[in-house]
Every structure is written in structure tokens, then in C-alpha cells.
């Protein structure tokens, strides 16, 4: 199980030369192992940047981060890579190889936890086909098991990436806008599956969402971002319309 803590964490993108644009400012957050959290906010509020900072995909400008009690930025590159096997990151636009079969895309979630020889064999003869089929079945995609990725719709690719997370042994799932290409029924079904597995296995789940109604319905804790800062962090039951208007006001 994985917990995450930040203290006064800031992050900035380079915008040319020595100039930097700060997109996160003094973010302090404490995420306990096994929590399920939705991150909401308008476009550009810093949701994805926060998610990537929490999983140490980007080095912070200042502040501190602890992932499972360890500061990943004080580790060697090799040790930091090893720590990343404890998490599964699902980006909004999954970078799935277009010529790859769906079965290979899904079982990739298993490969960080098996030996090199077994990983190489799986590239030719998939070793976890049954697990991949069962995960895809939960996302109504079992019939796509042997299709090529470039034959899938955007929503199907998103669900394939979610199936890859489900099949992994990661203790933390960081999921970025998983519903952007899904219709309402598929979106609810996908969140149902994610939450079911996360609860059953004690997985820490952090999910950015544009769909506020889904966030409030499925997640007990909400972090609302505004202009690179945490505007609200608390129970979803504490959120009312006036607070949401302040979060999303231009």
C-alpha cells in the first residue's frame, strides 16, 4: 500500500531560455494508503501537473515529496525507476503502439513484475492471456483481445489502458481524465470497475476528472485545483454549488 505526501510543492515549465512558468504553487497534500481521490478543476488549473508531480514524473521546482515514505528525487535513477514499479500511470491519451495487439497492450501491465526472460517470451507468446481477457471483459472489450490497437476507437483505447492498470500489481493508480472519450454509460461502468478493484485490493487511486458529477458520485475525497493551487481538499459531501462556482469561475 502506498501513501503520498507533499509539502509546499511547486512546479514550473520552461517557456524559453531561462524563463519558467509556474503551474503549481506551494501544494501541500497528504494522501493515505488506500484512499480514493478525484482531482477536479477547470482546464489549465493544474490537475494533470499535480498528478504527474505526485508520481514523480516531473522534478519539482521546490518543496518536498514523499512516495511510500521515500523521497524519490533523493534516489539514484535506477532506484527511482524501481520505485515506479509500485505505481501505474494511465494518461488521458494512452501511448499504445498502433500495430500492437490489444492482448499485448494489456499484459504490459504485468511485465514490470516478472523476469526479463518471461517478459521477452510474452512479446511473442502472451503469458497472461486469461488475465487480459478477464480484465477486458470487465470493460466490455473481451471481443477485442486480438485486434490491433489502431483499429480501436479513442474510448476503447482508454478502456484498454484501464484494463492494463487492473491487471498490474501496482499499489497506486494515477489516472488522468479516463472518461474523456467515453459515453455516460461506459464512463460509469469504467469507474465502477476501477473502484471495485481499488477497494478490494487496497489500492491508492488518484483520478483527475472533468466530470464533476462523476467525481462527487464515486469518490469520497475531492481535491479541487484553481490556478495551480489547491482551492479545496475534503469530503465530496461537503461540496455545494457555490463552492463549485468559485472553483470554475474564470
The grid coordinates of residue 112 equal 514490470
Whether residue 117 is predicted with pLDDT greater than 50 in this model: the reply is no
Domain with CATH 3.40.50.300 in the chain: 1-86+172-250
pLDDT per residue as tens digits for the range 190-232:
999 999 999 999 999 999 999 999 999 999 999 999 999 999 9
Q: Three-state SS across 191-226?
A: HHHHHHHHHHHCCEEEEECCCHHHHHHHCCEEEEEE
DSSP 62: E
Using the predicted structure, report yes or no on whether residue 127 has a pLDDT greater than 80.
Answer: no
Q: Please give the biggest Cα pair distance in the chain.
A: 56
For 148-183, b/e burial (b = at least 16 CB within 10 A) is: bbeebeebbbbbbbbbbbbbbebbbbbbbbbbebbe
> Does the pLDDT value for residue 121 go beyond 90?
no
pLDDT of residue 124: 57
| Residues 5-29: tens digit of each pLDDT | 999 999 998 766 666 788 999 999 9
What is the average per-residue pLDDT within 101-126? Answer: 69
Beta strands per DSSP E along 60-157: 62-67, 87-90
Distance CA 75, CA 19 (A): 27
Q: What is the pLDDT of residue 21?
A: 81
Q: What is the mean predicted confidence (pLDDT) over 126-132?
A: 80
Kindly write down the DSSP assignment for every residue of 5-47, as one continuous string: EEEEEEEEEEEETTEEEEEEEEEEEEE-TT-EEEEE-STTSSH
What fold characterizes domain 1-86+172-250? Rossmann fold (3.40.50)
Q: Under 8 Å CB-to-CB from 226, ≥6 apart: which residues? A: 41, 42, 45, 246, 247
Residues shown for the chain: 250
Using a cut of 0.85, tell me whether the model's pTM lies above it.
yes
Retrieve residue 94's grid coordinates: 494512452
Amino acid at each position: 500500500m502506498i501513501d503520498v505526501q507533499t509539502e509546499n510543492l511547486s512546479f514550473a515549465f520552461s517557456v524559453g531560455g531561462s524563463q519558467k512558468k509556474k503551474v503549481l504553487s506551494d501544494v501541500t497534500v497528504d494522501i493515505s494508503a488506500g484512499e480514493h481521490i478525484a482531482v477536479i478543476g477547470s482546464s489549465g488549473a493544474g490537475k494533470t501537473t499535480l498528478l504527474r508531480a505526485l508520481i514523480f514524473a516531473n522534478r519539482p521546482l521546490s518543496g518536498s515529496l514523499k512516495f511510500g515514505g521515500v523521497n524519490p528525487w533523493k534516489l539514484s535513477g535506477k532506484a527511482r525507476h524501481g520505485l515506479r514499479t509500485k505505481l501505474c500511470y494511465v494518461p488521458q491519451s494512452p501511448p499504445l503502439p498502433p500495430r500492437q495487439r490489444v492482448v499485448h497492450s494489456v499484459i504490459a501491465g504485468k511485465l514490470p513484475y516478472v523476469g526479463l526472460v518471461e517478459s521477452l517470451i510474452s512479446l511473442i507468446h502472451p503469458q497472461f492471456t486469461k488475465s487480459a481477457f478477464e480484465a477486458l471483459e470487465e470493460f466490455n472489450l473481451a471481443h477485442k483481445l486480438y485486434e490491433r490497437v489502431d483499429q480501436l476507437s479513442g474510448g476503447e483505447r482508454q478502456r484498454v489502458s484501464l484494463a492494463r492498470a487492473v491487471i498490474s500489481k501496482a499499489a497506486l493508480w494515477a489516472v488522468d481524465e479516463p472518461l474523456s472519450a467515453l459515453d455516460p454509460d461506459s464512463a460509469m461502468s469504467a469507474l465502477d470497475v476501477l473502484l471495485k478493484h481499488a477497494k478490494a485490493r487496497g489500492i491508492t487511486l488518484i483520478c483527475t476528472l472533468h466530470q464533476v458529477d462523476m467525481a462527487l458520485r464515486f469518490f469520497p475525497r475531492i481535491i479541487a485545483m484553481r490556478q495551480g493551487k489547491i482551492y479545496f481538499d475534503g469530503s465530496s459531501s461537503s461540496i455545494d454549488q457555490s463552492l463549485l462556482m468559485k472553483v470554475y469561475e474564470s
